[in-house]
Amino acid sequence: MDTENNTSTPVSEEETGTKKNKRKESKSLGREILEWLMTILTAVAIALVIRTFIFEPVKVDGASMNDTLADGEVMFISKLGYTSFQWINGRVSVFGDPQRFDVVICRYPNRGFTNFVKRIVGVPGDTIAIIDGYLYVNGEKYEEPYINDDYRTGRFSYFPETVVGEGQYFVMGDHRNNSNDSRSIGTIDRSMIVGHVVQVLLPFSSFRSVPNGLDVQAN
């Protein structure tokens, strides 16, 4: 009686090694792709943190800050110094609050995430007025040497006294005749101040620091 031959075909050691190598190569390629993706995601996350909390380049759009900043210039914005968060009893600053005469990037009520570049001229508790084109803070007249005298005239040469409320800031453009600012929109909340303009980066021919805070004195 015939019997069925169940002997399997032998596999050479070379074929077995080839299959193992292919599996290793497949695993190595998958790991490389995963590591590459993780590197990209980490870099994006770091970039977002830096952009959100530390610094960001911002381009000037418009003439409202002439002659301090020109349309099209790229500014270096420091955010770290203005970092704050909302707490039970109000907003808490981590490193400090904006100072009078700082040039800042800010947002306006009902304007979403649109950025505006302005100068803080009034901090909480200040009394602000403009008389004959000159700024008065708490009764003191400020020459503001960065203001072109041609910008002191016109319908904005006078602004009645107004008191800046708690947690609020009064901002204006340096081109006083061509700026949509607190004279028309009112004061802005501390949370609307995004960052501090420190330096003009581009074009390279215009590389310079920006006059801020302590650079401005009363008469």
Which of these is catalytic: 8, 24, 118, 205? 118
* pLDDT greater than 90 at residue 43: no
* pLDDT greater than 90 at residue 89: no
Give the separation between CA 141 and CA 204, rounded to whole angstroms: 35
Same domain as 64, residue 52: no
In the residue annotation, 118 being an active-site residue is answered as yes
Same domain as 19, residue 82: no
In the residue annotation, 24 being an active-site residue is answered as no
Which of these is catalytic: 24, 27, 64, 79? 64
Same domain as 120, residue 210: yes
Please report whether residue 71 resides in a domain.
yes
Please report whether residue 136 resides in a domain.
yes
* pLDDT greater than 80 at residue 5: no
Same domain as 45, residue 79: no
Same domain as 163, residue 76: yes
Please report whether residue 88 resides in a domain.
yes
Averaged pLDDT score across all residues of the chain = 82
Closest CA to 129 of 151, 157, 155: 157
Instruction: State whether residue 108 is helix, strand or coil.
Output: coil
Give the separation between CA 46 and CA 28, rounded to whole angstroms: 27
pLDDT in tens, 106-122: 999 999 889 999 999 99
Same domain as 106, residue 122: yes
Same domain as 132, residue 24: no
Give the number of other Cβ atoms within 10 Å of residue 159's Cβ.
18
Closest CA to 68 of 178, 219, 187, 193: 178
Q: Phi, psi (5° rounding) for residue 24?
A: -65, -45
Q: pLDDT band at 82, cuts 50/70/90?
A: confident
Q: Which domain holds residue 18?
A: 12-56
Which DSSP helix (H) or strand (E) runs through 37?
Answer: helix 13-49
Q: pLDDT band at 25, cuts 50/70/90?
A: low
pLDDT of residue 13: 52
Same domain as 163, residue 79: yes
